[in-house]
Amino acid sequence: MVVGDFAEEIDTLIIGSGPGGYVAAIRAAQLGQKVTLVERGETLGGVCLNVGCIPSKALISTSHKVEEMKNSSDLGITVDNVNVDFSKVQDWKNSVVKKLTGGVEGLMKGNKVEVVKGEAYFSDEKTVRVTKDEYTTQTYKFNNCIIATGSRPIELPNFKWSDRVISSTEALSLNEIPKKLVVIGGGYIGTELGTAYANFGTEVVILEGEKQILSGFEKQMGMLVSRSLKKKGAEIYTGAMAQSVEEKEDGVVVTAEIKGETKTFEADYVLVTVGRRPNTDELGLEQIGVELTDKGLIKVDNQCKTNIDGIYAIGDVVSGPALAHKASYEGKVAAEAISGKPSQVDYLAIPEVVFSEPELASVGYNEKEAKEAGFDAVASKFPFAANGRALTLNATDGFVKLVTRKEDGLVLGAQIAGPSASDMIAELGLAIETGVTAEDIALTIHAHPTLGEITMEAAEVALGTPVHIVK
């Protein structure tokens, strides 16, 4: 028998504690709302902190150190044998995750946000029932609700999850470094994890259906990453469609059709990274009339409002790229909209980043998109190879490209391929957000020697006055 309580009345209910939900909770509490946050997992932080952004970057960072130790002979450093204790790597990764999830719990307490563990289900447009365990439920009546339930990996019909057919979640928690790994999908998740394991010494095969890996980025950017992976011994097959998997006691055999030819690949594991599915199917949204797309995404307006008064949605459950920082941004907008502020979303300056080798980052328009949008746009590029700091880092692959409006040099977008691209893109996001021109960037004194100078140099190329490359 399930025990239920009388309905508890609250101001704002937030479902999901990922980077969208917990940020929305903090902002709503700052604005004077009484907030209750519902999370079905054991810890706060959602996919990002527990089985996504943070643990993946911890593994990637560790793998970079291994790669550097193996390949620093040009710098006069030779290491005969690099030993990786993967159990300790996992322990360290888990310690990073624990610190951050614990930090979120502290932020909830500090902002007086009530945290409830359980599964949420809409009873009506103003009521949610939370199942806490097999015998206990609690009903909440709310004035406003923000849905931030995130997403999960897509499972392919012929590749059902198992001990050997894994998603990114399991790939982050392996107790061994695989000798061989087949990755289905060359998007950012497959590329990042493929790169990390290649650095650890795994023989990696990437099967990508498009014409290039990282097809969301410009061709030249994807080619740089592809070349880097191949240097590590990875095999990359484009135009490849995975057909089936045969599981064995100690591995798998993956069959794929590659440009009309059937190939098989033996490996310890097959990692499926073909996208993510929004977690909107077990909330009761249909019965209260929340409008969804054919992909299960919640339809919202520019304040993250659904078609149902008082119900908002953010993050991976709405359209757009599944990015943690996008979810956080939308969480702030939704919380402010609930408080009566005129906040609304503007996605132009939201960066996209891949922690590959080299790193890739993009913000605003690329050259093609700018021209399609009606701008008389020009692209100006400066290479990392002509930068002193990049040379001292022995990391010279890549470039900074600025997309500017021809008439006045207004920055419309930027693309970066190279070390620290994920950090460098912030300056260019700010440039777009504040209406900066190439001249403004060129006149800003950048410290020397730094990678940031490359942005200044690209701006000088846009002005026709480059200093460190010949015009």
Q: Which residues are known catalytic residues?
A: 448
User: Is residue 296 part of an annotated ligand binding site?
Assistant: no
Report d(CA 64, CA 54) in Å as an integer: 15
Q: Are 378 and 404 in contact (CB under 8 A)?
A: yes
Please check if 188 is assigned to a binding site: yes
Q: Among candidates 173, 163, 155, 135, which has minimal Cα distance to 59?
A: 173
Q: Do the annotations mark residue 406 as ligand-binding?
A: no
CA quadruple 240, 359, 319, 41: dihedral sign: positive
Closest C-alpha among 306, 313, 310, 303 to residue 345: 303
361, exposed or middle or buried, with CB in 10 Å at 0-12, 13-18, 19+?
A: buried
Q: Nearest 5°: phi and psi at 416?
A: -130, 130
The 8 Å CB, 24+ separation contacts for 26-29 are: 26/107, 26/111, 26/113, 27/331, 27/332, 27/335, 27/336, 28/146, 28/335, 28/338, 28/339, 29/111, 29/112, 29/113
Q: Was 316 annotated as part of a binding site? A: yes
State how far Cα 184 lies from the chain centre: 18
In degrees and rounded to multiples of 5, residue 260 shows phi and psi of 85, -5
User: Has 124 been labeled as part of a binding site?
Assistant: no
Q: Flag whether 119 is marked binding.
A: no
Residue 192 annotated as binding site: yes
Does the annotation place 208 within a ligand binding site? Answer: yes
43 known ligand binder: no
The answer to whether the annotation marks 150 as part of a ligand binding site is yes
Q: Is 404 annotated as contributing to ligand binding? A: no
Detail the residues annotated as belonging to a binding site: 57, 149-151, 185-192, 208, 275, 316
Detail the residues annotated as belonging to a binding site for FAD: 57, 149-151, 316
Detail the residues annotated as belonging to a binding site for NAD(+): 185-192, 208, 275
